[in-house]
Amino acid sequence: MARAALNWSTQKLAAESGVSSRTLNRIETKEGFAAATQANLKLVELTLTAVGIEFIGDATDGPGVRLWNTPQP
């Protein structure tokens, strides 16, 4: 959802985050996300939040994202 909100390809997110596009493709599946390393997930999170993505929701509400016009502190 976050990558789509930015209209970024997997290759663009890979270039910006340093996480390979193959790994990103795996992370974007339910099974792959569960097996992803915390380090790779953190790199993706930091990259996306730096360009204005806010992760919202929780286990009860379900996950979601919000795209800000400018990154929030």
N- to C-terminal Cα distance for the chain? 21
Q: Is it the case that residue 19 has pLDDT exceeding 90?
A: yes
Q: What predicted TM-score, i.e. pTM, was given to this entire model?
A: 0.83
> For the segment 24-71, what is each residue's pLDDT rounded down to a tens digit?
999 888 788 888 899 999 999 999 999 999 989 877 888 888 888 765
Q: What is d(CA 5, CA 39) in angstroms, rounded to the nearest whole number?
A: 23
Domains of the chain: 2-67 (1.10.260.40)
More confident residue, 61 or 12: 12
